[in-house]
Every structure is written in C-alpha cells, then in structure tokens.
Structure 1
Amino acid sequence: LLSHQGRTKLEPGVTSVYGLSNVEGQKDADLGVYGGRNATIRQYPYLVSLLDLGIYVGTGSIISRSWVLTTALCVYKFDPQYLTVMAESKNGNTGSPFQAARIF
C-alpha cells in the first residue's frame, strides 16, 4: 500500500488491536486481546493503523519500504484515495500519516 522509512525485524505471533471503543459497563483496560499484553510502539514499530476518512478500519504490518500487509477485510471496497496509513502511532490516531497509493 505505502512506504515507511523504518526497517524492523518482524516478530511472529504478535497481535495488535487498536480502535476499540468503550463498551458500556467495561473499563478500557478490560478491552484487548485475551491473554495479550500491553506493548509500546517502540517494541513493534512496524505496526500501522489504517484509517478511512479518519475512521479506524484495521491494523497492518510494514513488510518493506513500499508495502503494508493487512487483511482483505480491512480494505475491501475502500478507495485508496481516502485510506491513510498511520505509522509510528501510539494510539491509532496520531503519528506519521501516509496516503495509500493502491490496494491489491
């Protein structure tokens, strides 16, 4: 989809969830991946947030200087001109934005 300047080593088995909204009666700390652990962007700098018109639609992984890998569900039926890849993001909404060029 897009490029990013960093080079990182991918770590297998890492799962990331961004953009979960608070469910009534649940604390934010209760939301996440079952059995998961908190992590920082410094630990997993290759993770990016995908935003369509500023709304979170999924997470991707930087696999090269020019490509981000994600699931089809995150980008199916989206127009790349409205898709932003947010790199170096601590919360999914801030960081370094890149405009998507193509979706395959």
Structure 2
Amino acid sequence: MRKVILDSDTASDDTIAILLASRYFQLLGVTIVAGNVNYNQEVKNALFTLEYIGKQDVPVYLGSQRPILGNWRTVEEVHGNNGMGDWDYPEPTKRPEKEHAIDAILRL
C-alpha cells in the first residue's frame, strides 16, 4: 500500500481528503498549516475527523500558523465558522504530536 502524508488546512474539503487517504493509502500522518479557518480550529477538525473514523493511530503534526508570503484570508463563508459547516461535534480526545510538521515530514 502506498504511504502518504496529508498536508491540510482541515475544513470540510480536507476532511474528505482525510477520509479518502485513510481508505486508499497508508496514512502516515496529517500536517496542519494555516488556511481555511482559524488555525486552532483546523487542528481540532483534523483530530476529530481521525477519531471519528477510527484512525486514532494516525498522528497530527502542527505546521505553519501563518502563510510564509502574502496575507492570510480565511473562508468561513465557504466552510462555516468552524470549517465543518458549523456542525456541533464533540471535542476530540486525541492531541497533536509535539514534533513539528516539517521535522515529521523529513523523518517519515
């Protein structure tokens, strides 16, 4: 099975990517970068999604909390305030790894 690391700004679209990647690939990890909604919300979305689909063993690594270049503009008007269509889901129990996303990508 092909191994992948999914780089994500987890909102509803990347939730589908996590679902598909976990089904068709060996998902080594999910890395989070600034994007669709508030960064901490993206982290929560990724952690919850992995728990929800029974993939607690897939680690989540924190990456850049802002763009390297240019301005960051979130798109809550597309994905809802929480990035998940304003679905009121429970807090994840899973926590992100301490290793930075870049270090994890290089190691993996």
TM-score greater than 0.5 by the shorter chain: no
Computing the radius of gyration over CA atoms, which structure comes out larger, 1 or 2? 1
Q: Which has the higher helix share?
A: 2
Scaled by the length of structure 1, the TM-score of the pair is: 0.25
Scaled by the length of structure 2, the TM-score of the pair is: 0.24
